[in-house]
Structure 1
């Protein structure tokens, strides 16, 4: 039976130095009034912020210098990510590219794709979307029906993807499609492609959330031609590659810090003299957060060592989702304040309103909790 590979080690000096650097950058951004923490999140698309963050060295941190990166450690990047989330910085224009698409291309892409795309990611000039989920398939990636057929030195893609964050503003989609026979376990015949969202035959349909905000999309492919050089990995290796990619997506602090600003605003609203119930509940949330930060940092260490921590990443996301869903519920119990989206001058009320509407999606994105627990059980040899 496999055991979890978490470890409790102090962060290296390089990581703490990165913390000081990014805090100074974020303080300057806030002082210039370039974003308002309780009104933005890591999915907020702000191309200008991403370019400035990249110019300051906070995008492409782990990438090789040959592709425009900085060759810093995964733990240094972890600390920067943590601070960006805590500040409520609008990182959506570079987030997916920097978190998972870029590393996936670096590991498995062709040299042509690396030269064309990675430097742009490192400059904060290239946004990616995730092309995994499809209508009617839920979290079952083995049910992918979007198909690609080879035509000479190109592939022709037909089908659709759904819940694609910021596809209406992104440059590329890293799409999982079917290129061959599924086989008995349905994991065969899957391949990943880098798809240019400006290519002919692509249409994007918005999906509005409860607040009317446009972040999610459905993407349709009709005879979309993709060059052979934009294939990621070998034909038919898509299942293994997407499993590896999900380790980047599921393990980071964005999977439990989505409502961190609400926690900060709640503590500020309660003030320095909480009653006993407020003190106990707030302390419990802070203890959970500390444990999650330690677990996520441990996964960053594994990634630094070239390990694919699929089980550990799934656990971080599952436990992190429990925390994220609980924060707005605890906030409502501790303070008799009605949430609002337009409560000018009342940052707590606005943060509560935004988080209350978005919280139901926290346990869905990146894989439902049922799927995650299945991954954990299988990885531990329990099923």
Structure 2
């Protein structure tokens, strides 16, 4: 029992040292002008930042060293991710690759694919896109129309994907496509292919948001050749793989820390002596944040133990995005300044929060779809 208590103390001490290390890195980046609190997020693309973060050991933390990883624990990775997100770091160049694409290749990719791609991700030099959503399919991934047919040495891919974050920068995309005709089981016959975005037949079209930002894209595949060793798992296993991938996508701290920078600036603006109304509004947000973080920590532990987290990850994503969207609404009510880009730090962060918050409950699955998944998990439908 004594050893166990001592191990716990040592682990907490190690985590505190790691948090301090990441905070020092964030402070260095702020001083250098590379981070603007509340005006960037984990989707903001900055290759140079990712390379610097990787050099500090903050990318591919849990992966084997043979692929450029650092063989650290999932808890250590969670600590680093929390601090980077809370610090407003521009993580878009490596975030998706580190969060889900790399682990998917590590678990289900051919050895040749692992050796080719994973070290590039670990070095911060590789961006991945998520090739799931399609035009006219909504949130029903089983209705996708992209298809790949057999050819000598691989596959020929045709189709379209939409809302693909940072596809204009991506070196690769994991594409969910149909590799055999749809039958009675609508989830059968789907596969995942790792597509080289520089391949002939790949076209990327920008989708400019109302905020004037180019992060989202439509991607067209026209007879794109994909080599056999770029198939993940076995042909027809795509649905199993994509649901495993979504568990990682929906359960991390990026699902409740997107507007943390604005919350931090709001607290600073209100000051150490808030009035009763300010204290209630901010206290409610902080309480919600704390509860959702505990849920995220629990999910991280389950994932590390190899346990299934589909339903609880879906609940966390829904709760987290609701909280993220509440932050700019509370800030708008409490702050004297008006939201405007180019204004003070808090005014610019408020403008960014208001403009981006609507997408939080869309990306990773709409709120309606998530509630349907939760109901099914509980046996209610």
For 1:338, the equivalent position in structure 2 comes to 338
| Larger displacement relative to structure 2 (118-127 or 267-276) | 267-276
Q: Give the match's secondary structure for 1:103.
A: helix
- CA contact 1:11–1:75 (8 Å) conserved in 2: no
| 1:252 alignment partner in structure 2 | 252
Paired residue for 2:238?
A: 238
- Is 1:357–2:355 an aligned residue pair? yes
Matched, 1:19 2:35: no
Q: How does 1:302-321 map to 2 (within 5 A)?
A: 302-321=302-321
Q: Residue 357 of structure 1: CA displacement?
A: 0.7
Residue equivalent to 2:73: 73
Deviation at residue 11 of structure 1 after TM alignment: 11
Corresponding position of 1:97 = 97
SS at match of 1:298: helix
- The counterpart of 1:348, out of the listed 337, 346, 349, is 346
Match of residue 364 from structure 2: 366
Task: Indicate whether 1:382 and 2:369 are aligned.
Answer: no
Within a 5 Å distance, the mapping from 1:271-290 to structure 2 comes to 271-290=271-290
SS in structure 2 of the partner of residue 195 of structure 1: strand
Deviations 1:61-113 (A, max 9, x none): 01011111011111111111110011000111000000000000001011111
SS of the residue aligned with 1:192?
A: strand
Distance in 2 between residues matched to 1:310 and 1:279, nearest whole Å: 35
The TM-score, its normalising length taken from structure 1, stands at: 0.95
Report the Cα offset of residue 10 of structure 1: 9.8
Q: How far has the Cα of 1:341 moved from its partner?
A: 1.5
1:324, CA displacement in angstroms? 1.2
Distance 2:337 2:141 in 1: 41
Is the Cα contact below 8 Å between 1:171 and 1:197 reproduced in 2?
yes
Aligned residues: 373
Contact 1:50/1:94 (CA < 8 Å) preserved in 2? Answer: yes
Distance 1:183 1:329 in 2: 46
- 1:162 corresponds to 2:166: no
CA shift, 1:32, in A, is 2.4
Matches within 5 A, 1:41-120: 41-120=41-120
Deviations 1:171-223 (A, max 9, x none): 00011001112232310110000000000001000001111110000000001
From the superposition, tell whether residues 358 and 237 of structure 1 become closer, same or farther in structure 2 (CA, over 3 Å): same
Asked whether the equivalents of residues 16 and 79 of structure 1 are also in contact (C-alpha less than 8 Å), the reply is: no
Q: Return the TM-score normalized by structure 2.
A: 0.95
* Gap change, CA 1:368 and 1:11, over 3 Å in 2: farther
How far 1:327 moved relative to its partner?
1.0
Residue pair 1:16, 1:76 contacting (<8 A) in 2 also: no
Deviation at 1:170, TM superposition (A): 0.8
Higher alpha-carbon deviation: 104-113 or 299-308: 299-308
Two-structure CA RMSD over aligned residues (Å): 1.4
Residue by residue, what CA displacement relative to the aligned partner does 1:157-182 show, whole Å, maximum 9, x if unpaired? 01100000000001000110011122
**Counterpart-to-counterpart distance in 2, 1:17 and 1:132:** 38
Shift of 1:33: 2.4
Q: Which runs of 5+ in 2 are unaligned?
A: 1-7
For residues 265 and 19 of structure 1, what CA distance do their matches in structure 2 show?
20
Runs of 4+ that moved beyond 6 A = none
Distance 1:100 1:264 in 2: 28
Residues in 2 aligned to 1:23 and 1:116: alpha-carbon distance in whole angstroms? 32
Change (3 A) 1:141 1:15: farther
Q: Could you tell me which residue of structure 2 aligns to residue 4 of structure 1?
A: none
Give the Cα–Cα distance (whole angstroms) in 2 for the partners of residues 192 and 17 of structure 1. 39
Q: Which moved more, 1:305-314 or 1:94-103?
A: 305-314
Structure 2 partner of 1:122: 122
Q: 1:37 Cα deviation (Å)?
A: 2.0
| CA offset digits 1:91-136 (Å, max 9, x no partner) | 1100000000000000101111101001111111111010000001
Partner SS for 1:38: coil
Q: Which residue of 2 aligns with 1:131?
A: 131
